[in-house]
Amino acid sequence: MSSAKNNTRLRKNAGMSTRAIHAGEQRQRYADSITTPIVQTSTFAFPNTDEIEAYTSKGKERFEYGRYGNPTEQVAQRRLANLEGAEDCVLFGSGMSAVITTILSLIRSGDHIVITDDAYKKTLEFCTGYIQRFGVDCTIVPFGDYQAIDKAVRKSTRFIISESPTNPYLNIFDLNRLREIARRHKILTLIDSTFATPVNQRPLEFGVDLVIHSCTKYLGGHNDILAGAVLGRTKLISQIRDLHNAMGGVIDPHCCYLLLRGLKTFPLRMRAHNESGMKMARFLEGHPCVLRTYYPGLESHPHHAIARKQMSGYGGVVTFEIKGGLRAAKAFLNSLKLCYIAPSLGGVETLVTHPGLVSYYGRTRKERYALGIKDNLLRLAMGVEDCDDIIADVDQALRKSVKK
Ligand SMILES: Cc1ncc(COP(=O)(O)O)c(C=O)c1O
């Protein structure tokens, strides 16, 4: 079922926090509950055959079967659509399910797609290793090389897919330039905006066609769910929803409840992530044990000017190169007392990961270095603890990394 209808109770210009709490909901809910109930059911009963016919032939909006929609899911979809400024949204059981279902719903044999080279590893793997089985060709272009993107487009090109900010270097795609290229060639644009969230960047306002999120990250915000979303115009989203209904990688109602719960504090949390990210980036940039810090809010970041134009905050992820190589990186991680060593980002707990040891495990050192994944590279995903406590933990671990 479409999630296109927005909540009419809200003022048109209601603020982000108000929308994050109220958007998508009916004013009166089951048993006058303040929270959206978890409708834990796999199917929905018809009271009689007239109701079946009203639904099947007269277009009555109602629920039929869990794979095609659920009331808790519908509220979450409507809320996300409202926050992103989208006509419609479809939720998935994970971010990757959102990415892959979207790609599959848009391509046909003989098509060609363009992807930038520092897209999320699994997205890149799917585009370079799987879609060829369906007769679809893919060109990888260097991130930030707009001429290369322009040149890569063919008559058969269906869309350009990229991310902003990217992982782990937090590169920023100039969305105005993306729109210009795409409009000229009449192709679609897909942006994975997971690292930005609608608080910091809204790609649809720049003319992007589809926005993808791993809601596992900031939108859920508590390191306790897996979820994904695609947002955009109703026509495109319906096409994606049709395939999603068949593929069945649906999100369950309990997970939707947790997502809705997380969303209520999402703008508040983002404020804390943005502040802590900036503070940590400045701290690391001036630290004697750190070689280089990557954060789009820093003047030293190569895409700082673009970030300032199209983002209102820079998020909680800070990437840095530690002095001393793999030995120092391991010593740093093993000395942390408060931050967890874990992949992922956007939750309330601060997580630190070593992309070379975790996400790029199995690749040779040469392959990793070609992708910029060096032995001394660490990625810090700030939670919402008191920033000074995280800085103190990182500082003591950095100092130990030199000694060990
Ligand atoms: C930018 C980005 N997109 C997509 C995904 C996939 O999301 P999920 O883990 O929810 O499947 C991730 C996961 O880390 C990600 O970082």
Q: With beta carbons less than 8 A apart as the criterion, state whether 297 and 277 touch.
A: yes
* Mean pLDDT, residues 189-198 taken together: 98
Among 264, 291, 324, which residue terminates a domain? 264
- Across the chain, mean pLDDT equals 95
Report the pLDDT value the prediction gives residue 2, as an integer from 0 to 100: 59
Does residue 364 register a pLDDT over 90?
A: no
What separation, in Å, do the N-terminal and C-terminal C-alpha atoms of the chain show?
58
Q: Which of 170, 171, 216 to mutate to test the pocket of ligand 1 (most atoms within 8 A of CB)?
A: 216
pLDDT band for 381, please (50, 70, 90 cuts). very high
Range of the domain at 285: 266-403
Q: Which ranges constitute the DSSP H helices of 204-343?
A: 234-247, 253-264, 266-285, 304-310, 325-335
pLDDT band for 392, please (50, 70, 90 cuts). very high
- Are 188 and 304 found together in one domain? no
Report the pLDDT value the prediction gives residue 402, as an integer from 0 to 100: 84
Let me know if residue 240 belongs to a domain. yes
Compute, in angstroms, the gap from residue 343 CA to the centroid of ligand 1.
11
The CATH number of residue 159's host domain is 3.40.640.10
Report the pLDDT value the prediction gives residue 8, as an integer from 0 to 100: 57
- Closest C-alpha residue for ligand 1 atom 6: 95
* 46-60, 114-128, 191-205, 357-371: least confident range: 357-371
Let me know if residue 34 belongs to a domain. yes
- Are 70 and 163 found together in one domain? yes
Q: pLDDT tens-digit profile of 239-257? A: 999 999 999 999 999 999 9
Task: Give 341-389 as a DSSP string.
Answer: E-S--SSSS-EEE-TTTTTTTTS-HHHHHHTT--TTEEEEE--SS-HHH
Report the pLDDT value the prediction gives residue 361, as an integer from 0 to 100: 79
- Are 230 and 318 found together in one domain? no
Q: pLDDT tens-digit profile of 145-179? A: 999 999 999 999 999 999 999 999 999 999 999 99
Does residue 95 register a pLDDT over 60?
A: yes
Report the pLDDT value the prediction gives residue 372, as an integer from 0 to 100: 86
- Are 327 and 388 found together in one domain? yes
Q: What is the identity of the amino acid at 141?
A: V
Among 227, 242, 264, which residue terminates a domain? 264
Let me know if residue 10 belongs to a domain. no
Does residue 5 register a pLDDT over 70?
A: no
Ligand 1 proximity of 87 Cβ (cutoff 6 Å)? no
Does residue 214 register a pLDDT over 70?
A: yes
Let me know if residue 105 belongs to a domain. yes
- Are 251 and 164 found together in one domain? yes
- H-helix or E-strand containing 212? strand 210-214
Q: Give the C-alpha separation, 229 to 212, whole Å.
A: 6
Atom of ligand 1 nearest to the CA of 215: 10
* Mean pLDDT, residues 350-373 taken together: 88
- H-helix or E-strand containing 100? helix 95-106
Instruction: Characterize 267-276 residue by residue with b for buried, 16 or more Cβ atoms within 10 angstroms of its Cβ, and e for exposed.
Output: bebbebbbeb
* Mean pLDDT, residues 207-226 taken together: 98
Among 220, 243, 264, which residue terminates a domain? 264
Let me know if residue 342 belongs to a domain. yes
Q: Which of 102, 122, 195, 317 to mutate to test the pocket of ligand 1 (most atoms within 8 A of CB)?
A: 122
Compute, in angstroms, the gap from residue 101 CA to the centroid of ligand 1.
14
Task: Write the CB contacts of 149 (distance below 8 Å, at least 6 apart in sequence).
Answer: 114, 116, 141, 160, 178, 181
* Mean pLDDT, residues 136-147 taken together: 97
Report the pLDDT value the prediction gives residue 7, as an integer from 0 to 100: 54
Residues of the chain with pLDDT > 90, as a percent, come to 90
Domain count, the chain: 2
Q: With beta carbons less than 8 A apart as the criterion, state whether 143 and 115 touch.
A: no
- Are 398 and 272 found together in one domain? yes
- Closest C-alpha residue for ligand 1 atom 14: 344
Compute, in angstroms, the gap from residue 227 CA to the centroid of ligand 1.
9
- Please give the backbone phi and psi of residue 43, each rounded to the nearest 5 degrees, phi first: -145, 165
Let me know if residue 9 belongs to a domain. no
Tokens 């306002």 found at: 205
- Are 259 and 280 found together in one domain? no
- Are 67 and 136 found together in one domain? yes
Report the pLDDT value the prediction gives residue 231, as an integer from 0 to 100: 98
Report the pLDDT value the prediction gives residue 368, as an integer from 0 to 100: 86
Atom of ligand 1 nearest to the CA of 97: 11
Task: Give 51-87 as a DSSP string.
Answer: HHHHHHHS------BGGG--HHHHHHHHHHHHHHT-S
- Are 57 and 196 found together in one domain? yes
The CATH number of residue 393's host domain is 3.90.1150.10
Let me know if residue 11 belongs to a domain. no
- Are 277 and 242 found together in one domain? no
Does residue 131 register a pLDDT over 80?
A: yes
- Are 103 and 235 found together in one domain? yes
* 3-12, 43-52, 113-122, 215-224: least confident range: 3-12
